[in-house]
Amino acid sequence: MTRGSVDARSDEDLLRAHVRGDPVAFGTLIERHHTYLWSLACRTSANADDAADALQDALLNAHRMADRFRSDAKVTSWLHRIVVNACLDRIRRNRVRVTVPIPEYDVLPLADERDQMAAVDLSMSIGKALDTLPPDQRAAVVAVDLEGYSVSEAAERLGVPPGTIKSRCSRGRVRLAQVLGHLRDS
């Protein structure tokens, strides 16, 4: 298989081939889903550096644990869970240190500058509010409310029953409403 060519094997076949020792199968699998996994890590992490570190940890874990994959789920669901878990682990370790990059505004007109600053402030407030949630609630809220997954899809991806996703989202939304209540008043 040459670089740039399409591998017609399914994700499951690629993972099985990797377990059997195929030196390119895992790379092909990850190349196929890298954009999605990177996007997931970015949405679940506090910043791009943490997302990159968590994704690297997740891919190493997936590489090492490939022989533990059970065929009762999709490979993408399995990878999704590994990435989310790696992100949540990193969030727990870095709980105190949260940074948000602030864009430059040098060339924007004043009105646009105010709008953009308000958007950045809102984004930072939401990010800080999400950081107050326990990791399991944050993962559920991010999956359902930010990524747009249905409750059943989020449950499958996070490896918990749908009722658990519903209760985590409900508790998380109540907490977010408390933390972000000042935004309604202004």
Band (pLDDT 50/70/90 cuts) for residue 111 is low
Residues in the chain: 186
Which of the listed residues 110, 134, 161 is the one where a domain comes to its end?
110
Of 28, 31, 30, 48, the closest CA to residue 39 belongs to 48
Alpha-carbon distances, residue 75 vs 72, 138, 148, 153, 160 (angstroms): 9, 23, 20, 14, 17
Residue-number span of the structural domain to which 166 is assigned: 113-185
Q: Which of 110, 140, 169 is the C-terminal boundary of a domain?
A: 110
Domain stops at, among 110, 142, 160: 110
List, as one string, the DSSP characters of 58-105.
HHHHHHHTGGG--TTS-HHHHHHHHHHHHHHHHHHHTTT---------
Look at residue 105 in the predicted model and tell me its pLDDT: 47
Maximum Cα interatomic distance, the chain, rounded to a whole number of Å? 61
Same domain, 78 and 129: no
Query: pLDDT tens, 147-179?
Result: 888 999 888 888 889 999 999 999 999 998 888
Confidence of residue 70 (pLDDT cuts 50, 70, 90): confident
Q: What is the DSSP letter of 146?
A: I
In a domain, 128, yes or no: yes
pLDDT, tens digit, for every residue of 34-68?
999 999 898 888 788 889 999 999 999 999 999 98
Same domain, yes or no, for 31 and 89? yes
